[in-house]
């Protein structure tokens, strides 16, 4: 049976574990794919162009905005991030689960654009103060960048109630298991809706 494609936006405050959860989901489910976002920020030491992100100059990014190639884009911590329309279209047409590691505002934009084919999951920290300390101690940010992240954290937390569901990210295996169950339940419901509503072209959003 063909299954419905599903766009899954996974968001959290900075340092809240969304990238780690996405990587674990991809390891557990070979049929899941990862949306490679575009960004103007410089790559971190372990990141690869075309695998973790498409690293673009600001003029290159702005050219994609002008050409309408981005389903959404946001300026976060002084750098642009965006999701390619082509990535989403391919995944939905092929019936894949497409994981998007994305900031809270970007997730809301994709939800508005793709409707019920998009499901948003917010990973909440068990302790906001501990998360702030973790951000300070991880050593990947300059003082200026860290200040921006900490200032943004309260705003990110306030967006949690707008997501389709919230999972408290306290223990890795437990969180991954909970997110897997949520995704599969949503995908099954969407597949049944697609079958019973055959001919409904709202499943072909681009």
pLDDT-derived band of residue 130, with 50, 70 and 90 as boundaries? confident
| pLDDT, tens only, 1-52 | 578 899 999 999 888 889 999 999 999 998 899 999 999 999 988 899 999 9
Own/partner contacts of 131-139, CB < 8 Å, gap of 24 or more, are: 131/13, 131/15, 131/16, 134/15, 135/14, 135/15, 138/15
Decide which of 76 and 56 is more confident: 56
Residues sharing a CB contact under 8 Å with residue 46, sequence separation 6 or more, in sequence order: none
> Which pTM does this prediction carry?
0.85
Domain ranges of the chain: 6-197
Burial pattern 15-41, b for ≥16 Cβ within 10 A else e, equals bbbbebbbebbeeeeeebbbbbbbbbb
Which among 55, 91, 76, 95 has a CA at the least distance from the CA of 149? 76
Residue 174 has pLDDT above 80, yes or no: yes
Superfamily holding 6-197: P-loop containing nucleotide triphosphate hydrolases (3.40.50.300)
| pLDDT, tens only, 181-193 | 999 999 999 999 8
Q: What is the mean pLDDT of residues 59-73?
A: 97
Residues paired with residue 81 on neighbouring β-strands, in sequence order: 39, 74
């Amino acid at each position: 049976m063909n299954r419905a494609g599903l766009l899954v936006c996974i968001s959290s405050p900075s340092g809240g574990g969304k990238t780690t959860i996405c990587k674990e989901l991809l390891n557990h489910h070979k049929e899941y794919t990862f949306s490679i976002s575009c960004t103007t920020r410089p790559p971190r030491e372990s990141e690869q162009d075309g695998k973790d992100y498409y690293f673009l100059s600001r003029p290159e990014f702005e050219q994609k905005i002008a050409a309408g190639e981005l389903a959404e884009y946001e300026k976060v911590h002084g750098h642009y991030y965006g999701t390619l329309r082509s990535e989403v279209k391919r995944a939905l047409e092929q019936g894949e689960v497409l994981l998007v590691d994305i900031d809270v505002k970007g997730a809301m934009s994709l939800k508005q654009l793709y409707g019920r084919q998009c499901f948003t999951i917010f990973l909440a920290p068990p302790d906001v103060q501990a998360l702030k300390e973790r951000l300070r101690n991880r050593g990947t940010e300059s003082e200026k960048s860290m200040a921006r992240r900490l200032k943004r954290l309260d705003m990110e937390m306030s967006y949690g109630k707008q997501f389709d569901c919230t999972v408290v990210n306290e223990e890795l295996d437990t969180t991954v298991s909970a997110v897997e169950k949520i995704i599969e339940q949503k995908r099954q419901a969407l597949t049944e809706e697609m079958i019973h509503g055959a001919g409904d072209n709202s499943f072909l959003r681009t």
